[in-house]
Amino acid sequence: MVDILHRIGVTASPDDVYAALTTVDGLAGWWTEDTTGDGQVGGVLRFRFVPGGFDMRVRELVPAKLVRWEVADGPEEWIGTTVEFELSQEDGFTIVMFRHEGWREPVAFMSHCSTKWATFLMSLKRLVETGKGEPAPHDVQISNWH
Amino acid sequence: MVDILHRIGVTASPDDVYAALTTVDGLAGWWTEDTTGDGQVGGVLRFRFVPGGFDMRVRELVPAKLVRWEVADGPEEWIGTTVEFELSQEDGFTIVMFRHEGWREPVAFMSHCSTKWATFLMSLKRLVETGKGEPAPHDVQISNWH
Residues of B in contact with A110 (CB under 8 A): 5
Contact B114 A7 (CB under 8 A): yes
Q: Which amino acid is at A145?
A: W
Which residues, in sequence order, are CB contacts of A128 under 8 Å at separation 6+?
A: A10, A12, A16, A17, A20
Question: What are the helix (H) ranges across chain B?
Answer: 14-22, 24-28, 108-130
SS3 call for A85: strand
In this complex, the residue of B8, B110, B115 whose CB is nearest that of residue A8 is B115
CB atoms within 10 A of CB B60: 13
Chain A residue at shortest CA distance from B120: A115
pLDDT at B3 over 90: yes
Q: How far is B60 from chain A (nearest CA, A)?
A: 22
Q: Which amino acid is at A73?
A: D
In this complex, the residue of A9, A119, A145 whose CB is nearest that of residue B143 is A9
ipTM for the whole complex: 0.96
Q: How large is the average pLDDT for residues B25-30?
A: 98
Q: Nearest CA to B7 among A108, A103, A107, A123?
A: A108
Per-residue pLDDT of chain A (146 residues; tens, 9 = 90+): 789 999 999 999 999 999 999 999 999 999 999 999 999 999 999 999 988 899 999 999 999 999 999 999 999 999 999 999 999 999 999 999 999 999 999 999 999 999 999 999 999 999 999 999 999 999 999 999 98
Residue B21 is given by DSSP the state H
pLDDT of residue A47: 98
Pairing label, strands B44-49, B52-62: antiparallel
Task: Give the integer Cα–Cα distance in Å for B66 and A99.
Answer: 29
Q: How large is the average pLDDT for residues B24-39?
A: 98
pLDDT of residue B50: 86
pLDDT of residue B142: 96
Taking only the tens place, the pLDDT of each residue in B82-115 is 999 999 999 999 999 999 999 999 999 999 999 9
